[in-house]
């Protein structure tokens, strides 16, 4: 294979055309949650297939009950090279409220911010079209110089990530043999900061539950029945308040089974990142930490499990005042999981706890909202360390291993269904305004993202 520097130079030379291709893809309003844009989602899938076919991939649009998948394959330049599966999504979030955009969301442009910093504007530039194309453009540089790729590559691009990926798991099950590779690569995450690349070594899992506590057969006059009839709002708030003890720990039986302490050397590395409680909370107008006592904000958000109330309602909430005891009250509660916590055991423990709080003449209904375990790569994983070295050669500062407070279910599906570790490398920044008006992607993120994948693929092949 050609020297890496030559491939990187070709990626640099290609940048103007790479940007043109990104602009063409961003102009397609592939909003997956709105049926009015169904044809646009297919158009985006077909655009990708045309581009990939032009690069020599065996690419096709695969129909699903929802929006189509894009699957593409390319052999490696040598038979003993590793095989990677790269995942991304071509669908985007809605753009409402449109009046808050500074420019048309589907008319991308390059704008210069303070101190010469340039950004690419438009819906999907960061989440996930710009990120997705960093990998495709890296493959282009290899093909144009060598006529081959250093690794065998399978691409999987979906069109429903922003609407819950309902078709993805059945698609993986039906096409497991075709999609299985040595590693999965996912580019839908962030850097630590504009100069420090990051590899996400862990993703918290998730359990979602909606509960409705029911008491009387109708709303009651609080003067006539107050003090005698059960109040479901009282019952519900008692349930919620009892989820944590005075130290911030979750009280469910067996909740911490499978939760391991973060290695001291990893916590020490996180401390060098300079994220203090004051800085983390100050950005959102707070300053008093919540959660488990005695732990840093990085550990709390990356490596510890949580129980959070995401919504609660009941009774009269309209204008004025109505003195009633509501017949029912509801809440949405989610648990973020770490380590080897079992989602179904957590769900069962929660339901058992709730049942213990319900008076004998009242009832409760449960409505599950998904569940997935946490994903974590060993901190000494050869895959992580190979990518860490490659990224550190490209960016001004060495790459860091971080956790992610959120959940990406596809990563767990890759591990459980296809037996693959996933390397999560992304080039977004926390201020990219994904899912919000005025989404942007740093020009440097796009350019050096392409170069980073050139280095990572070269390193994996070696």
pLDDT value at residue 210: 97
162's tokens: 């922003």
* Mean per-residue pLDDT, 122-128: 97
* Share of residues in the chain with pLDDT > 90 (%): 86
Contact between residue 182 and residue 114 where contact means Cβ atoms under 8 Å apart = no
203's tokens: 């993703």
At residue 354 the predicted structure's pLDDT band, cuts being 50, 70 and 90, is very high
pLDDT in tens, 43-91: 999 999 999 999 999 999 999 999 999 999 999 999 999 999 999 999 9
pLDDT exceeds cutoff 90 at 379: no
Domain with CATH 3.30.70.360 in the chain: 205-259+305-372
* Mean per-residue pLDDT, 305-326: 96
Average pLDDT, the chain: 95
173's tokens: 């099950």
Contact between residue 244 and residue 250 where contact means Cβ atoms under 8 Å apart = yes
pLDDT value at residue 161: 93
pLDDT value at residue 452: 98
pLDDT value at residue 248: 97
* Mean per-residue pLDDT, 379-384: 87
Distance, in Å, from the CA atom of 376 to the CA atom of 138, rounded to the nearest integer, reads: 27
* Mean per-residue pLDDT, 11-34: 98
pLDDT exceeds cutoff 70 at 186: yes
pLDDT value at residue 10: 98
pLDDT exceeds cutoff 90 at 388: yes
At residue 1 the predicted structure's pLDDT band, cuts being 50, 70 and 90, is low
Q: Are strands 83-89 and 183-186 parallel, antiparallel or unpaired?
A: parallel
pLDDT value at residue 211: 98
Contact between residue 313 and residue 330 where contact means Cβ atoms under 8 Å apart = yes
Fold of 205-259+305-372: Alpha-Beta Plaits (3.30.70)
Which is more confident, 1 or 211? 211
Residues in Cβ contact with 377 at an 8 Å cutoff, skipping those fewer than 6 apart: 201, 202, 383, 384, 421, 422
Residue 309, beta-bridge partner list? 333
* Mean per-residue pLDDT, 178-187: 96
pLDDT value at residue 371: 87
Which is more confident, 194 or 409? 194
- How many beta carbons lie within 10 A of that of residue 376, not counting itself? 20
Residue 359 phi, psi (nearest 5): -60, 155
pLDDT exceeds cutoff 80 at 401: yes
* Mean per-residue pLDDT, 231-257: 98
Contact between residue 215 and residue 452 where contact means Cβ atoms under 8 Å apart = no
pLDDT value at residue 412: 83
At residue 370 the predicted structure's pLDDT band, cuts being 50, 70 and 90, is confident
Closest of 392, 298, 371, 377 to residue 339, by C-alpha? 377
SS (H, E, C) the chain: CCCHHHHHHHHHHHHHHHHHHHHHHHCCCCECCCHHHHHHHHHHHHHHHHHHHHCCCEEEEECCCCCCEEEEEECECCCCCCEEEEEEECCECCCCCHHHCCCCCCCCEEEECHHHCEEEECCCCCCCHHHHHHHHHHHHHHHHHHCCECCEEEEEEECCHHHCCCCHHHHHHHCHHHHCCCEEEECCCECCECCECEEEEEECEEEEEEEEEECCCCCEEHHHHCCCCCCHHHHHHHHHHCCECCCCCECCCCCCCCCCCCCHHHHHHHHCCCCCHHHHHHCCCCCCCCCCCCCCHHHHHHCCCEEEEEEEEECCCCCCCCCEECCEEEEEEEEEECCCCCHHHHHHHHHHHHHHCCCCCCEEEEEEEEEECCEECCCCCHHHHHHHHHHHHHCCCCCEEEEECCCCHHHHHHHHHHCCEEEEECCECCCCCCCCCCCEEEHHHHHHHHHHHHHHHHHHHC
pLDDT in tens, 277-293: 999 999 889 998 899 99
At residue 395 the predicted structure's pLDDT band, cuts being 50, 70 and 90, is very high
Q: Are strands 205-214 and 363-372 parallel, antiparallel or unpaired?
A: antiparallel
Domain with CATH 3.40.630.10 in the chain: 4-203+374-461
What CATH class does 4-203+374-461 carry? alpha beta
Contact between residue 183 and residue 153 where contact means Cβ atoms under 8 Å apart = no
447's tokens: 């350019």
pLDDT value at residue 35: 96
pLDDT value at residue 2: 82
């Amino acid at each position: 294979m050609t020297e890496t520097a030559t491939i990187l130079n070709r990626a640099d030379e290609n940048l103007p055309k790479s940007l043109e291709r990104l602009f063409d893809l961003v102009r397609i309003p592939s909003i997956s949650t709105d049926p009015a844009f169904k044809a646009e989602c297919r158009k985006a899938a077909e655009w990708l297939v045309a581009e990939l076919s032009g690069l020599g991939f065996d690419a096709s649009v695969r129909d699903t009950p929802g929006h189509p998948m894009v699957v593409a394959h390319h052999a490696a330049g040598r038979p003993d090279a590793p095989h990677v599966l790269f995942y991304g999504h071509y669908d985007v979030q809605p753009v409402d409220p449109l009046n808050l955009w500074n420019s048309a969301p589907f008319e991308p442009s390059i704008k210069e911010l303070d101190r010469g910093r340039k950004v690419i504007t438009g819906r999907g530039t960061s989440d996930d079209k710009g990120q997705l194309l960093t990998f495709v453009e890296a493959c282009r540089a290899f093909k144009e110089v060598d006529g081959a790729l250093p690794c065998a590559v399978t691409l999987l691009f979906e069109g429903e990530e922003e609407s819950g990926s309902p078709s993805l798991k059945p698609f993986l099950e039906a096409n497991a043999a075709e999609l299985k590779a040595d590693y999965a690569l996912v580019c839908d995450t962030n850097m630590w900061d504009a100069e420090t690349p990051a590899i996400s070594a862990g993703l918290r899992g998730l359990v979602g539950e909606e509960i409705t506590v029911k008491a009387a057969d109708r709303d009651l006059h609080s003067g006539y029945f107050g003090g005698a009839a059960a109040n479901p709002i009282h019952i519900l708030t008692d349930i919620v308040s009892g989820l944590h003890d005075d130290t911030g720990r979750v009280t469910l039986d067996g909740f911490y089974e499978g939760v391991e302490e973060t290695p001291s050397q990893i916590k020490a590395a996180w401390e060098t990142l300079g994220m203090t409680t004051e800085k983390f909370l100050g950005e959102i107008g707070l300053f008093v930490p919540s959660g488990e006592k005695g732990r840093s904000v990085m550990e709390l958000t990356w490596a510890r499990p949580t129980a959070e109330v995401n919504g609660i309602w009941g009774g009269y909430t309209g204008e004025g005042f109505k003195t009633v005891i509501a017949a029912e009250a509801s809440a949405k509660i989610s648990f973020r999981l770490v380590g080897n916590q079992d989602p179904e055991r957590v769900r069962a423990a929660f339901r058992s706890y709730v049942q213990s709080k319900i008076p004998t003449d009242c009832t409760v209904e449960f409505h599950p909202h998904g569940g997935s375990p946490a994903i974590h790569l060993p901190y000494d994983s050869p895959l992580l360390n190979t990518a860490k070295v490659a990224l550190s050669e490209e960016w001004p500062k060495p790459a860091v291993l971080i956790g992610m407070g959120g959940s990406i279910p596809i990563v767990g599906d890759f591990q459980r269904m296809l037996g693959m570790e996933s390397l999560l490398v992304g080039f977004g920044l926390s201020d990219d305004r994904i899912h919000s008006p005025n989404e942007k992607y740093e020009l440097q993120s796009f350019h050096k993202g392409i170069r980073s994948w050139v280095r990572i693929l070269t390193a994996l092949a070696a």
